[in-house]
Amino acid sequence: MSTMRNLILAICVVCLAIVGAGPSAATDQAAPSAATDQAAPASSTEPATPTTGKITVNIEGLENTKGNVIVSVYNDPEKKFPSLPNAFKNITEPIKAANMQVVIEGLAPGEYAIGVIHDENADGELKTWFFGPPKEGVGMSGEAGGMMPSFDKSKFTLADKDLELTIKMKYIL
């Protein structure tokens, strides 16, 4: 019984961390980048070296096709994680099948973590039960399973080539 209580408590903590703020956080947003705002010099004869890459996220195990998925990209281990308002970028896509793919483009090389929410009621936030666990499905990149996901356990490195990863959705209740 104590183990079950600890599991439910841990799930509550995770859900409260993910919830963060409200629906305004679920729009596609990206931090401004000086590198992407500068044009290549006009006199250059060599093609510009790409400074951005893309991540293809394969999402598996959505329970139904209701609502949207919110894919959140995190790049700052110092910010509260996971939390929609603290994401570097949030992308919302309508669900068309139990398995789907979301492509995130324009990312500079570096360390990132990704969280996915199955936003069944399309309100732009994670719904939770009164005692904390999510009513909607969630998934994380990396080895973020267990008690409390952390940026360190969820992170991966985007180097100078594109990356593809798979996130399996989890439904608590």
Q: What is the pLDDT of residue 10?
A: 45
Q: Report CA-CA distances (Å) from 28 to 1, 24, 152.
A: 42, 10, 24
Judge whether 112 lies within some domain. Answer: yes
Greater pLDDT, 18 or 148: 148
Q: Determine, yes or no, domain membership for 162.
A: yes
Nearest to 103 by CA among 76, 68, 71, 149: 71
Question: What number of other Cβ atoms are within 10 A of residue 118's Cβ?
Answer: 25
> Nearest to residue 14, comparing CAs of 93, 85, 81, 106?
81
Average pLDDT, the chain: 76
Total number of domains in the chain? 1
30 is a domain residue:
no
pLDDT digits (tens, 9 = 90+) for 117-159: 999 999 999 887 787 778 899 999 987 665 568 899 999 999 9
Instruction: Print the domain residue range for 6.
Output: 2-23+52-168
CATH number of the domain bearing residue 103: 2.60.40.10
Integer Cα distance of 17 and 19 in angstroms: 6
On whether residue 14 sits in a domain, the answer given is: yes
Average pLDDT over residues 37-56: 58
